């Protein structure tokens, strides 16, 4: 009988949930701290707003890839043979948790500087879907790299994913 995407025995499930949770929390906090530091560091530079947006996007993509990929690889090393679903949950969890912590930090800064604070949703909602989309893409690509044994099939899957993504972007614009 084949295993489902999240199938584990009860003991295995408890251990995996604990390990996955710890990795998500630690990697998410690190990603949020890096993103927060970059956000405030770039705003201190005297460059145009366009350059700041492009640099923020580049750093966001690079560090999101680094954190999500590292988190998934960590879970895969600590729990060999863990179901693919848990790897995808780990990647999405890191992105979601990092965005929540980053939004909370941006919301809290005006409270400490004496400015009028905005709603937490003002910081949380605009970046939620992009953060989850990037996390999902990185999680899928990393899972393909870890679990597909044939290099040819793995490369084909990656090219197919990027082709479909390019098609969606083309049709959307």
Give CA angle at 169 (92, 39), nearest 5°.
55
Residue 5 domain-assigned?
A: no
User: What is the pLDDT, as a whole number, of residue 4?
Assistant: 57
- Asked if the model's pLDDT at residue 10 lies above 80, the reply is no
- Three-state DSSP at 126 gives coil
In a domain, 68, yes or no: yes
C-alpha dist (Å) from residue 159 to 67, 153, 162, 170, 172: 22, 10, 5, 16, 20
Dihedral of CA atoms 51, 134, 171, 163 in degrees, nearest 10, equals: 110
pLDDT over 60 at 7, yes or no: no
pLDDT mean across residues, the chain: 88
Q: Residue 124: inside a domain, yes or no?
A: yes
User: Token pair of 98, please?
Assistant: 């990092």
User: Residue 136: is its pLDDT beyond 60?
Assistant: yes
Considering its fold, how many domains does the chain have in total?
1
pLDDT band at 114 (very low <50, low <70, confident <90, very high): confident
Residue 55 domain boundaries: 10-172
Residues 6+ apart with CB under 8 A from 166: none
Please give the pLDDT value at position 17: 74
Question: Which of the 8 DSSP states describes residue 2?
Answer: -
- Please indicate, yes or no, if residue 139 is contained in any of the structural domains: yes
Residue 58 within a domain: yes
pLDDT digits (tens, 9 = 90+) for 46-74: 888 898 999 999 999 999 999 999 999 99
Residue 151 has pLDDT above 60, yes or no: yes
Residue at 4 is within a domain: no
């Amino acid at each position: 009988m084949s295993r489902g995407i999240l199938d584990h025995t009860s003991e295995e499930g408890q251990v995996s949930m604990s390990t996955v949770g710890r990795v998500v929390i630690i990697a998410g906090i690190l990603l949020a701290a890096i993103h927060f530091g970059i956000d405030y560091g770039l705003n201190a530079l005297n460059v145009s707003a366009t350059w700041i947006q492009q640099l923020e996007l580049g750093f966001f993509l690079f560090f999101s890839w680094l954190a999500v990929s590292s988190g998934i690889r960590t879970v895969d090393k600590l729990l060999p043979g863990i179901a693919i679903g848990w790897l995808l949950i780990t990647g999405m969890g890191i992105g979601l948790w990092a965005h929540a912590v980053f939004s909370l930090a941006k919301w809290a800064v005006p409270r400490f500087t004496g400015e009028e604070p905005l709603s937490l949703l003002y910081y949380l909602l605009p970046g939620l879907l992009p953060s989850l989309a990037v996390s999902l893409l990185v999680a899928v690509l990393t899972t393909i790299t870890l679990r597909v044994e044939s290099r040819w099939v793995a490369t084909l899957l990656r090219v197919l994913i990027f082709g479909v993504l390019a098609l969606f972007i083309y049709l959307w614009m």
